Amino acid sequence: MSFTVAALYRFAPFDDPAALRQPLLDLCAAQGVKGTLLLACEGVNGTISGRAAGIAAVVAHIRALPGCAELDVKYSAAAAMPFRRLKVRLKREIVTMKVPGIDPARDAAPYVAPADWNALIDDPGTVLIDTRNDFEVGYGSFDGAFNPRTASFGDFPGWWREHAESFAGKRIAMFCTGGIRCEKSTAFLRSEGVADVVHLKGGILAYLEQVPESESRWHGSCFVFDARVSIGHGLVEVGEKLGEEMDAVPLSNSG
């Protein structure tokens, strides 16, 4: 039997994220779910794996948390359990940027659906920016995407401020693995005065799942933070194994 992998996040205000930790930890353990979930005052982020019923129970629990009814979840499959253990951690941010005052729930830029992405990035007036880390970009990216060559997501604000003038007057289209980094990076750009910025709804994972390979502008594979290493069109595992299992890192929280 295969395992279900769920990459999920939601920016939602949690007054007391510490109070949410133990019930979530207990439920995951009871359902045989492994992976990592991050809780912060700004919301929840994580990647987990287990049998379909167990994942469904955990996702339902998270959707019932304040502000999480519209939890973003992307499902894929793994032939074996890709994570070694379960961790539910309290963090200052669910995706680390280290820029005070950024509120993606309020300020993130408009989405572009995967079905409309090709037309957008084919437009010569669009500048395409890959917000992932440099080593991730090495596995694959979209045609013509600009790589900031960051070592961590926390490097992105400094990179942008150093190069912002070269993008003046351009439409900025941003993308990342599952969407969470773009929620925060587009909110950051808007706080820096960038008016014309959009991002790929659901990230690369949604694009690879929904856009036929024959129409795709994607080249290579998409790195994921579990033992599958990378996945391709149709969210099929294509990477070399790192061993039987590895510690879970939230799919979008590499920074």
C-alpha span between 236 and 218 (Å, rounded): 14
DSSP structural state of residue 148: -
Tokens of 123: 């437009």
C-alpha span between 144 and 160 (Å, rounded): 18
Nearest to 239 by CA among 136, 133, 143: 136
C-alpha span between 180 and 174 (Å, rounded): 11
Nearest to 174 by CA among 158, 162, 161, 190: 190
Q: Is the dihedral of CA 110, 166, 150, 223 positive or negative?
A: positive
Active site residue 176: yes
Question: One of 28, 41, 68, 176 is an active-site residue; which one?
Answer: 176
Evaluate whether 17 touches 41 at the Cβ level (below 8 Å): yes
C-alpha span between 178 and 252 (Å, rounded): 6
What residues are annotated to the active site?
176
